[in-house]
Amino acid sequence: MKNKFKMSGFSSSEELVDELSEKLASLLKDAIETRGRACMAVSGGSTPKKLFEKLSTFDLDWAKVTITLVDERWVDVNSSQSNEFLVKESLLQNQAQNAKFISLKNEMIMGEEALLITRNRLKSVDKLDVVVLGMGGDAHTASFFPNMEELEDVLNAKESCCSSTASVEPYSRITLSRSFLLSAERLILHIEGENKKKVFDVAFQSDDYKNMPIISMMRQEKPLMEVYYA
């Protein structure tokens, strides 16, 4: 199966952040005008921090926007390792402080009980308007890690989210399933740095999704993966 994507390249991180933040704000505004509400799922890690900070300054009807995470580390939400902590510190600020946030983390120890709680929370999401993925140097995306035991489960699950085991600490994660991510109207991958570009280029030419899980998100025409790279 041929891998598919659309690439937008930028000479600097600042140019990328300016362009992508405007794009995301426009997509959210369009969804609000069309449906009366908008929902976006975002990734954690260090790459999107500046993007979140810029997006938070846009003048939108943020009270009609729901934000959730693509995946989460099973740590305290006040931990610096928490994606929720990053979103609350960087995105749910300024104009965006009135947006609704759906946490993937709950008080249960990771297990079926925890998944049921989070799946019930996600039932309030009638539609994902936009998903912003990241990618690690090992070609993982969301919490789809190379050769992990649960990989086939999260790639084929019909449920909204699944548990997964990372190859780096903290190991325990929760992730939106591939089917839920691909239900979005727009699918965006945000990567920066030469090393990640090299990894992406290798993945594009490969069909080894078990070793390079990012491949699993570029095998469909709709939504077409839109890559923003600096």
pLDDT digits (tens, 9 = 90+) for 85-107: 999 999 999 999 999 999 999 99
pTM of the entire predicted model = 0.97
Specify whether the CB–CB gap between 70 and 142 falls below 8 A. Answer: yes
Region 203-216 average pLDDT: 97
Which residue segments constitute the domains of the chain, with CATH numbers given?
6-229 (3.40.50.1360)
pLDDT-above-90 percentage for the chain: 94
What's the pLDDT score for residue 2?
85
Q: Which of 109, 178, 106 is nearest to 142 (CA)?
A: 178
Specify whether the CB–CB gap between 172 and 79 falls below 8 A. Answer: no
Q: Look-up: residue for tokens 């610096």? A: 80
> CA 188 from chain center: how many Å?
8
15 band by pLDDT with thresholds 50, 70 and 90: very high
What's the pLDDT score for residue 1?
66
pLDDT-above-70 percentage for the chain: 100
Instruction: Tell me the H-state helices in the chain.
Output: 13-35, 49-55, 83-90, 112-122, 151-156, 178-181, 194-204
135 pLDDT more than 70: yes
